[in-house]
A and B are shown apart, each in its own frame.
Chain A
Amino acid sequence: MRWDFEKLTAEAGQEIAACSDLKTLEALRVKFLGRKGLLTEIYASLPTLSAEEKPLVGKGANELRNKVTQLLEEKKNILESSSSSGPAHSIDVSLPGVAPLVGHAHILSQIVEEICGAFEHLGFVVQDGPEIETEFNNFTALNIPADHPSRDSFDTFYLETPDPDQKGRNLLLRSQTSPVQIRLMKQFKPPFAVIVPGKVYRPDAVDASHSFVFHQIEGLLVDEDIKFSDLKGLLTAFCQRLFGDKTRMRFRPHYFPFTEPSAEVDISCYICDGKGCSVCGKKGWLEIMGCGMVNPKVFEAVGYPKGKYTGLAFGMGVERMAMLKYGINDIRIFSENDVRFLKQF
């Protein structure tokens, strides 16, 4: 026989297997199956063959054609499926992505949002009030005596603008968010639960831990039967939400003129878990807010009927919360507004 079909099949198989691109594969197809290809040549020779050879060669050629067609088809599929990711179309996936512009809320706004949000979940509403205040709202109504040191010009900024309600006195920049309590209570009857974020001012020279303006969040819940145990329960729920379930808390008796009993709230130090480290000053505790039961004198000042209502109030510094939460050790970075800082959060 002129053709060794076994060998031809093996050779075709090898050539097709070795082929690595569609162009070469097409050349192979032409070589085997094309109009001037091998199989055409074999079929063309059939009439010249002897009667014995003819069926054998015909069978061999058919088998070869089927085999080659199958191999070419398979190879083509492989090459095509890989061609879209093949070297000619591939890109450097390690190049950075083109990011859409995304802005950042100031970290203090984020903390305010987080804290207000936590209390909104507990049924509170957010309220705000003016920064320019009267002595009555900022001090007198909050049971801060007329001669109290915090009213001195050393501790409170006064404006040149006279107080329209109090002859001879001037308006001031509120030194706490508590005057908003007074404004709300003068306007509304309980029950209500409010959370009040805002700027406050004190004449402190700027250094790593002081600023003449900072942010506070104040909370107030007034109803007919609010108890001291409610204060503990509410703030415990809040702190565990903000700092995690495992946070331990303690309520330490303290003094504020506008609450009685009053307390400061400490949480177990998140760095050392209460063992004592440099962040908590070796105490194991971090002071995070002041709180208490609204002093009946405050209710008296806003004209609520004597003995009718009880309430709880609390207040915290936003900068302090942010500093504790993120380990920031200089309060000035919040007001610098370096965009590299803003973009970190």
Chain B
Amino acid sequence: MKLPLNWLNNFVKHGLTAEKLAERLTMAGHEVKAIDDVPRGTQAAGDRVYEIEITPNRPDCLNIVGLAREVSAIVNKPFKAGKAKALKISKTACDITIDDKAACSRYIGAVVENVSIGESSEDVKERLQAVGLRPINNVVDITNYCLFESGQPMHAFDYDKLAGGKIIVRKARVGEKIVTLDGVERVLNPNILIIADEKRPVAIAGIMGGQATEVTAKTKRILLECAAFDPILIRRAGRSLGLTSDSAYRFERGVDVTNLERSAKQALAMIVELAGGTITHYRDANFNKKVALRNFEIDVEQISKFLGTKLTAVQVKKILTSLEFKLKAKGKRFIVTVPSFRNDIKAAVDISEEIARIIGYDRMPLSLPQVKPSAIMTSENFQIKRKLRQILIGQGLDEVISYPLVSRNAIDKSKLSESSLTRIKNPLSLDQEFMRPSLLPSILAVVSLNFNRGQKNLRLFELGKTYSPDGEKEVLGIILSGAAVASPDWRASKKEIVDFYDLKGVLNCVFRNLGFKQFDVLPAKADIFSAGQAAEVIVNKNVIGRFGKIDKEVTKNWDLKSDDIYFAQIELGQFSLKQAEEKFFVHLPEFPAMTRDVSLAVGKDATFSRIATAVWEVGGPYLSAVHFREQYTGEKIADGQKGIVFSLVYQSPERTLTEAEISPVHEKILQKLTQDLKATIR
């Protein structure tokens, strides 16, 4: 909303500089976003214009008078309303039919004959320019002038162009069209309220008039419309047509229906004064005069307590009266009557805000609340994510936060087409049509962006959600690609690129730190992973996630020039804080351990986990660890076999073990491996 100070000064003598007043308005809830100087050389040079942001609950401030009223209350100076001019109003009614009475709660129509259309006077033009409007002709300018001064949108038709001299307020019919004042032909629909004459639409109600009935230099008779339309209808119509206007902006927020007559008469008086003519018809249609004003009972002491300040009854009365509320004492309380233009005051608490606002929030005291212990704890999910973030950062992974909305194409490219998807009904674009069923498509987009920018060594994680029609799940996603060690420094790296076991290592660390004593990793199959290089993680008999090498087809679909990208996704639902915090102390060994290496040749299908299980079965009380060392194939190993090396650690908490004690156990283990796994000891 533009507010020229010269115009404002007509209604209130505030006695402040533009800057000071801007600050006071801002601090009373009408933020002055900018103060513009009207440039030299234009008629209003020297005037200054505020650009004010009016909150949507205060349509009464979308005009000069409304803001003057606020200024008057804020700076405590009287508000001078303009004087209504004497006006001769005809008793002859104009022909107004309101089909949709709920949509149009009042319609004042007046016909003025023998108007002379021409340019507006300089002072009118000056003011319109100051609020950013282009002067058109005296009659149109008057409607705009009144709109800005008192907030009531009005429209003037060329009365002679209204077929049958009729005004009909109705919904548009299918297929009806209108060329609006901006020269655009608009196709209407039955949700749009229009003004029609006998034959056709002549205006889109509350939004814009039609070109065919526009007031031009040749116009002799005009019909002035001053009406109130349903805010929701106006907003929906504007949106469906992609059309807005100063009028629509005000109707959408609501106009004061009781103010219509005064507005109409002000405009008519100006028309008669500036364009001549006589009022031949006048009608105030569909007005329910019994608009009940809202009343609330307030208690000054209670408001003081709520605001944390000390208010007096005199102070409260003065503030509210300055805002045109009416107060009636009722014992120690007041009955407050809300003025008709304050549709935003809907409860007693709204009155507290008025008082605080006019005193100024900045003048209200500060206190620190007594924050009592809550009935709730910090959410476990948040704490687990906090912990996970630390663990993963500690392993050199960078956290990403990717888009949860993805395209159908991204889902297909990631071979996730089989997932049950959650679709957005009103997506902004096809790029964001679905909620991701897995982190994979979102995170591959991140991988792709980084690859394209030359960043190929990625160690990433995301703590995000996946979505399905059944709801949303918290998950951890991990991506490893490129150099096994992110530093290019040869001193730090032995292995060149990451593999499955790097990812498994990260996961092991995560699970260990979160207190999972028991979790299994079993081979798995999934479209997104390369066959034979995928596993699932099982906790308490539930699969809580999968990891592995991303399938070649997926990397090809995403145009990622690397086959070695590893991905894990683990659900956080099974993680518990209690488990993560459960730790036990184990005495440090006082006596030395004895380590024996074992080198085997076994069938290729003998997994390390099978070997270890067999070892533990016969390991006896002193076997304390089985460490994998190496796995290999080569010339010395028969076809279909692999070599495997591991160490067995024997230790007792009570004494140093002797060869004689360990040898029989060790022999037993080797025997077991030879028998059960057909292993050859090397």
On A, residues with C-beta under 8 Å from B are: 96, 98-106, 108-109, 113, 120, 122-128, 130-132, 147, 149, 152-154, 157-161, 170, 173, 184, 188-194, 197, 199, 201, 203-205, 212-213, 221, 223, 225-230, 232-234, 236-237, 250-255, 260-263, 283, 293, 295-297, 310, 312, 334-340, 342-343
Contact = CB atoms under 8 A, between A and B. Distances in A.
Nearest to A282: B34
Given A188-B376, A252-B27, A228 B306 contact: yes
Interface in B422-447: 422-429, 432, 435, 446
Contacts of B57: 255
A218 B604 CA distance: 57
A177 to B, nearest CB: 13
Contacts of B250: none
Contacts of B432: 212
Nearest to B445: A337
Contacts of A263: 361
A192 B381 contact: no
Contacts of A98: 487, 489, 491-492
A339 B455 contact: yes
Most buried by A among B57, B305, B399: B399
A232 B366 contact: yes
A109 B367 contact: no
A213 B459 contact: no
A281 to B, nearest CB: 8
Contacts of A338: 449-450, 453, 455
B382 interface: yes
Given A108-B401, A334-B401, A339-B455, A153 B425 contact: yes
B33 to A, nearest CB: 8
A337 B374 contact: no
Top 10 nearest A-B pairs by Cβ distance?
A: A101-B396, A229-B308, A253-B29, A123-B371, A227-B308, A261-B353, A255-B55, A230-B369, A192-B374, A103-B393
B26 A252 contact: yes
A105 B361 contact: no
Contacts of A221: 369, 371
A194 B405 contact: no
B471 A229 contact: no
B371 A199 contact: no
10 contacts: A101-B486, A102-B393, A102-B396, A124-B374, A227-B367, A227-B369, A250-B27, A261-B352, A296-B347, A335-B403
Interface string B6-37: 00000000000000000000111101010000
B187 interface: no
Given A154-B239, A159-B425, A236-B366, A125 B398 contact: no
A158 B392 CA distance: 35
A179 to B, nearest CB: 14
B593 interface: no
B36 to A, nearest CB: 12
B489 A157 contact: no
Most buried by B among A100, A260, A337, A342: A337
Contacts of B41: none
Nearest to A102: B396
Contact of A126 (B350, B382, B435): B382
A157 B369 contact: no
A99 B393 contact: no
Nearest to B30: A253
A103 B377 CA distance: 29
Nearest to B454: A340
Contact of A335 (B31, B308, B402): B402
B159 interface: no
B455 A131 contact: no
Contacts of B378: 120, 125-127
A229 B455 contact: no
B58 interface: yes
A201 to B, nearest CB: 8
Nearest to A157: B424
Interface in B359-384: 361-362, 364-379, 381-383
Given A128-B381, A153-B425, A252-B27, 13 more contacts: A96-B489, A102-B394, A103-B393, A105-B399, A109-B399, A127-B376, A159-B423, A160-B423, A188-B375, A194-B374, A254-B29, A310-B306, A337-B401
Contacts of A236: 366
B352 A159 contact: no
B31 A233 contact: no
Contact of A312 (B33, B369, B489): B369
A132 B363 CA distance: 41
A285 to B, nearest CB: 9
A236 B372 CA distance: 19
Given A104-B393, A296-B347, A251 B353 contact: no
B356 interface: yes
A335 B401 contact: yes
Contacts of A343: 398
Given A188-B376, A203-B428, A293 B306 contact: yes
A310 B307 CA distance: 11
B400 A106 contact: yes
Given A96-B489, A250-B362, A338-B455, A106 B401 contact: yes
